[in-house]
Chains A and B, each alone.
Chain A
Amino acid sequence: DIQMTQSPSSLSASVGDRVTITCQASQDISNYLNWFQQKPGKAPKLLIYDTSNLETGVPSRFSGSGSGTDFTFTISSLQPEDIATYYCQQYHNLPTFGQGTRLELE
C-alpha cells in the first residue's frame, strides 16, 4: 500500500489567513492526488482532483499543487465555512488516504 502522510494533523487559523496543508506519498504517485473536505457529521466532498484541478462549484480560494511524492493544499483566505477536516487521497494504486488535518478557527 502507498502510505500518505499529512501535516499538520491539526491547525488553528483566523479568518482571512492563508492556510497550507502538505501531503507526502511513500512512493511516486505522479499527479494522482485528490483533496477532500469533511465537515462534522457530513460526507466528504471532493475539492481538488489530479493535484490541481478544482472540482466544479468549488471556490477559487482552494488550490493544490505538487507532483511525485510531495503535494500541497492551500486556502488563500480562510472563511468560517472552511472549518472542517481535510484529507488527501492517492489513486496511483489502490486508494489510500492521509490521516486528515483538522482545521479550527483561532
Chain B
Amino acid sequence: QVQLVESGGGVVQPGRSLRLSCAASGFTFSNSAMHWLRQAPGKGLEWVAVISYDGSNEYYGDSVKGRFTISRDNSKNTVYVQMNSLRAEDTALYYCATARHLWLITYWGQGTLVTVSS
C-alpha cells in the first residue's frame, strides 16, 4: 500500500532554513508527480508546490515562491522541500502527497510539523 513518511520538521528561528523529506513506498515513485501542502494550526489547507515525475517541472504557491524549492531523487524514492528565509507564517504541518497526474492530488502522508519562532 502507498506509504509516505515526512521528516525534518522542528523549531527554527525566523530567517533560517529547513529541509523536509518525504520517503515514498508502495507505488512507482518515478512515475508520480509529488506535492507539498501545509496546514497552519487550526486552519485550512494550503498548497505549496509540485514537482513532475521526472523533476523537469516545478510550480509554487505565491506565498512560498522564491523561498522554497522542491526537488526529488527517484533513486531514493524521496521528495524534498528546501525552505529558506522562513517566517512565522510558515508555521504549519507540512504534508507530502502523490498525484494521479501532475495536478490530481490523491494520497497524503501524515505530515511533519514546522514551527518558526524566535
Contacts and interface: CB of A to CB of B under 8 A. Distances in A.
Interface of A: 1, 32, 34, 36, 38, 42-46, 49-50, 55, 87, 89, 91, 94-100
Contact of B45 (A42, A50, A87, A94): A87
A46 B106 contact: yes
Interface string B38-52: 000000111100000
Contacts, number: 47
Given A34-B104, A95-B103, A43 B44 contact: no
Given A50-B104, A97-B46, 4 more contacts: A34-B104, A44-B108, A94-B59, A97-B44
Contacts of B105: 34, 46, 89, 91, 95
A50 B44 CA distance: 21
16 contacts: A43-B108, A43-B109, A43-B111, A44-B45, A44-B95, A44-B108, A49-B100, A50-B104, A89-B45, A91-B105, A95-B103, A97-B45, A97-B47, A98-B44, A100-B44, A100-B45
Nearest to B100: A49
A33 B28 CA distance: 25
A38 B39 CA distance: 12
Interface of B: 35, 44-47, 59, 61-62, 95, 100, 103-111
Interface of A is mostly: loop
A38 B45 CA distance: 10
A91 B104 contact: yes
Contacts of B46: 97
A96 to B, nearest CB: 7
A94 B47 contact: yes
B44 A94 contact: no
B64 to A, nearest CB: 11
Contact of B44 (A1, A95, A99): A99
